[in-house]
Amino acid sequence: MTVAPSLTRNQLAAMIDHTLLAPEATPKDIDALCAQAKSLGTYAVCVSPTLTTVAAREVAGSFVKVASVAGFPSGAHSAGLKAEEAGEAAATGAHEIDMVINLGLARQGRWKHVEEEIAAVRGAVPSPTLLKVIIESAVLDEESIVMACRTAESAGADFVKTSTGFHPAGGASTAAVALMARTVGPRLGVKASGGIRTAADALAMVAAGATRLGLSRSAAILAELPD
């Protein structure tokens, strides 16, 4: 049995992408998100591509990074569109891109095509922009999770990420995070996202191997921890 680590509020905050990807989010909502991220000390904010300019303006001069998404939330976009979306987000202030793979291709085992689309996005957002690849782990069996992680690494990703948080199959699980962490080792980061609602949930994900967390309830979760 894995024992959850004991982390302070600040230590956990430094692992969080404070997230607002609701389609109805307004610039005013993003202003509030960024102000809260700075107050809490989270690593980044994660926002929709059309709102990266707003987020970049609000966190300018602070330690908070801006993450945005590509092919979100379905992943059923062409590789070219994902690359274009990612490139535009990076050009308007995103330091990191969280892209969704084509799950239909993954379920068919067409890993060469999945690798090609990840590589296309990587080409549009070269280092130092970080690329996280969302594999929607709740949809995939263990073998496919392993293959998705290996494919992401081969295509040049910096992180693998469990979930969009929008799929009806569910979000992150400790079992999926542990499998992903074993597969990529220390070479890539592992981001757990989707359904993390309490500090206990968050700490369990870290214990399983997550190095970043995507949270929308950051303030409430951090309030459960000691300073």
User: pLDDT of 77-94, one tens digit each?
Assistant: 999 999 999 999 999 999
* Strand (E) or helix (H) holding 51: none
Given the candidates 3.40.50.2300, 1.10.3470.10, 3.20.20.70, 3.10.20.520, the CATH classification of the domain at 9-223 is: 3.20.20.70
pLDDT value for 2: 57
Cβ distance 30 to 54 under 8 Å? yes
The reported pLDDT for the residue numbered 1 is 45
Cα Rg of the chain, angstroms: 16
3-state secondary structure of 68: strand
pLDDT bucket at 3, cuts 50 / 70 / 90:
low
Exposure letters 148-180 (e unless 16+ CB within 10 A, then b): bbebbbebbbbbbbbbbbebeebbbbbebbbbb
Catalytic residues: 98, 161, 191
SS3 category, 11: helix
- Alpha helices by DSSP H, listed for 134-198, are 142-154, 174-184
d(CA 101, CA 135): 6
pLDDT(177) > 60:
yes
pTM of the predicted model as reported, rounded to 2 decimal places: 0.96
> Of 180, 143, 151, whose CA–CA distance to 163 is shortest?
180
- Enclosing H/E stretch for 106: helix 103-107
Residue 49 in this model has a pLDDT that exceeds 70: yes
- 3 state DSSP class of 9: helix
- Residue 190 carries which DSSP code? E
Residue 89 · residue 128 · CB < 8 Å = no
188-204 per-position pLDDT tens digit: 999 999 999 999 999 99
Tell me the two tokens of residue 147.
Answer: 């293959």
CB-neighbour burial class of residue 126 (10 A; exposed 0-12, middle 13-18, buried 19+): exposed
Nearest Cα to 159, choosing from 141, 120, 181, 132? 132
